[in-house]
């Protein structure tokens, strides 16, 4: 018995020679696993005459979709009514596919011209390795299936968020950014040993490093963009940086104009929370024409430095004036080296609040404020 059809789980390419896949469903039956083993009363029998898919091809991969095609022998090809697609996260490829008897585990699509597009944020996540195998099947009048053997197993990895997806995140972040407060400095907290190391081994210049995997799983900057993290949030009552920090008791402060000015571009990088009431926004500041600027230009939405909801710089009476959003915590990545001589290093008087650290922090996938309707 077929489960109710799931709209929009599969769609066809836009080519006129390809049909729209309207009849994708998950079937609440036990299918053969990739080794051809069946449970009792599975409703499926093997039939060697059906062609086995081979030479599987995966293309047009996005963060929540991909195209799939394969070759088949012509023998009994006209008897094929359905395709069974076994899609699993790579780390689970050797696990038992039937942990619960009545839980559907395969994608079942009516046979359509290839390639076809598999799409669905409820089972595909960005930047995730998957395995896929395919069977051809023929549905009988009594509702049972005859099936081919499984194809070979193919591995692939879904893509990062595109600019379109990041723009959706950006729009969600804008809703809660709040009013703008003045700022005058960017600051970076670390342990004393970090600054000693910079002086001794890097000629006094802090060097960009690869961003960790904190934030949205599909963020294109995680594990790829090189930069230096700075903060810029201020305390509401003092207008100055807070004295507490999760990253170390020594703070480098630099006037905002030295990092953020008309010769830099500003990009939106991410919006996330860590199972808390407060949210983080990652922004990237890149000197115009720098390698970091070229990286961001291809992947991230660019913001107007004078007019956006998060961080602005504008000239008033010949002086650069800076503002930041009040209701989000801004994490600013600067993509070029920064010499310590451009600012000051001093010990802070507050506490080291490790609970506020975002190092490799996992995003809350259930938060309606900071998630979008694609794979988490």
Segment 238-268, tens digit of pLDDT: 778 887 777 888 999 999 999 999 999 999 9
In a shared domain, residues 204 and 308: yes
Q: Is residue 29 part of a domain?
A: no
Q: Is residue 20 part of a domain?
A: no
Q: Which one of 158, 190, 216 terminates a domain?
A: 158
In a shared domain, residues 179 and 287: yes
39 within 8 A of 99, measured Cβ to Cβ: no
Confidence (pLDDT) at 1 = 33
Q: Is residue 23 part of a domain?
A: no
Q: Is residue 301 part of a domain?
A: yes
Confidence (pLDDT) at 351 = 61
Confidence (pLDDT) at 248 = 81
Q: Residue 125 — pLDDT band, cuts 50, 70, 90?
A: confident
| pLDDT of 10 above 70 | no
Average pLDDT over all residues of the chain: 82
CB-facing half-sphere around the CA of 286: CA atoms within 13 A: 25
Q: Is residue 75 part of a domain?
A: yes
In a shared domain, residues 152 and 173: no
Q: Residue 9 — pLDDT band, cuts 50, 70, 90?
A: very low
Q: Residue 356 — pLDDT band, cuts 50, 70, 90?
A: low
Q: Is residue 4 part of a domain?
A: no
In a shared domain, residues 305 and 223: yes
Q: Which residue has tokens 């005459």? A: 49
In a shared domain, residues 72 and 174: no
In a shared domain, residues 174 and 302: yes
Confidence (pLDDT) at 178 = 92
Q: Which one of 105, 131, 158 terminates a domain?
A: 158
Confidence (pLDDT) at 134 = 93
Of 52-61, 76-85, 356-365, the range with the lowest mean pLDDT is: 356-365
Domain that holds residue 152: 54-158
Task: Name the domain count of the chain.
Answer: 2
In a shared domain, residues 201 and 252: yes
| pLDDT of 168 above 80 | yes
The predicted-structure confidence for 192-206, as pLDDT tens digits, reads as follows 999 999 999 999 999
Q: Is residue 73 part of a domain?
A: yes
In a shared domain, residues 204 and 189: yes
More confident residue, 188 or 236: 188
More confident residue, 200 or 145: 200
In a shared domain, residues 136 and 204: no
In a shared domain, residues 152 and 206: no
Q: How many angstroms separate the CA atoms of 247 and 241, rounded? A: 14
In a shared domain, residues 74 and 203: no
Contacts 24+ apart (CB under 8 A), 236-243: 236/181, 236/326, 239/181, 239/182, 239/183, 241/185, 241/187, 242/350, 243/348, 243/349, 243/350
Q: What is the mean pLDDT of residues 340-366?
A: 76
Q: Is residue 167 part of a domain?
A: yes
CATH of the domain at 151: 2.60.40.10
Confidence (pLDDT) at 5 = 31
In a shared domain, residues 149 and 177: no
Q: What is the mean pLDDT of residues 7-29?
A: 33
Q: Which one of 158, 184, 203 terminates a domain?
A: 158
235 within 8 A of 180, measured Cβ to Cβ: no
pTM of the predicted protein model: 0.79
218 within 8 A of 63, measured Cβ to Cβ: yes
């Amino acid at each position: 018995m077929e489960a109710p059809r799931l709209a929009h789980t599969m769609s066809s390419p836009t080519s006129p020679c390809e049909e729209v896949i309207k009849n994708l469903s998950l079937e609440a039956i036990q299918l053969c696993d990739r080794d051809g083993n069946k449970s009792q009363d599975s409703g499926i029998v093997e039939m060697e005459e059906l062609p086995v898919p081979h030479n599987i091809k995966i293309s047009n991969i996005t963060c929540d979709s991909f195209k799939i095609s394969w070759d088949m022998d012509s023998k009994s090809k006209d008897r094929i009514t359905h395709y069974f697609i076994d899609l699993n996260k790579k780390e689970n490829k050797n696990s038992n596919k039937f942990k619960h008897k009545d839980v559907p585990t395969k994608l079942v699509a009516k046979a359509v011209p290839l390639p076809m597009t598999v799409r669905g944020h409820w089972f595909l996540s960005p930047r995730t390795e998957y395995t896929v195998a395919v069977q051809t099947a023929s549905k009988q009048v009594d509702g049972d299936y005859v099936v081919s053997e499984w194809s070979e197993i193919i591995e692939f990895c879904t893509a990062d968020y595109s600019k379109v997806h990041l723009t959706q995140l950006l729009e969600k972040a804008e809703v809660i950014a709040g009013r703008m407060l003045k700022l005058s400095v960017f600051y970076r907290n670390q342990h004393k040993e970090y600054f000693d190391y910079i002086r001794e081994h890097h000629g006094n210049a802090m060097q960009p490093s690869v961003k960790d995997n904190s934030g949205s799983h599909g963020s294109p900057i995680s594990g790829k963009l090189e930069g230096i993290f700075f903060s810029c949030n201020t305390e509401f009552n003092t207008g100055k940086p807070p004295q507490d920090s999760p990253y170390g008791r020594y703070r480098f402060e630099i006037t905002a104009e030295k990092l953020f000015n008309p010769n830099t571009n500003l990009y939106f990088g991410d919006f996330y929370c860590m199972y808390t009431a407060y949210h983080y926004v990652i922004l990237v500041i890149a000197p115009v024409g720098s390698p970091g600027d070229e990286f961001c230009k291809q992947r991230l939405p660019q913001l107007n430095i004078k007019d956006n909801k998060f961080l602005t710089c504008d000239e008033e009476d010949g002086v650069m004036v800076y503002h930041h959003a009040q209701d989000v915590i801004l994490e600013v990545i600067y993509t070029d080296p920064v010499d310590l001589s451009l600012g000051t290093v001093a010990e802070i008087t507050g506490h080291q609040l490790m609970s506020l650290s975002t190092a490799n922090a996992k995003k809350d996938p259930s938060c309606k404020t900071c998630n979008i309707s694609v794979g988490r």
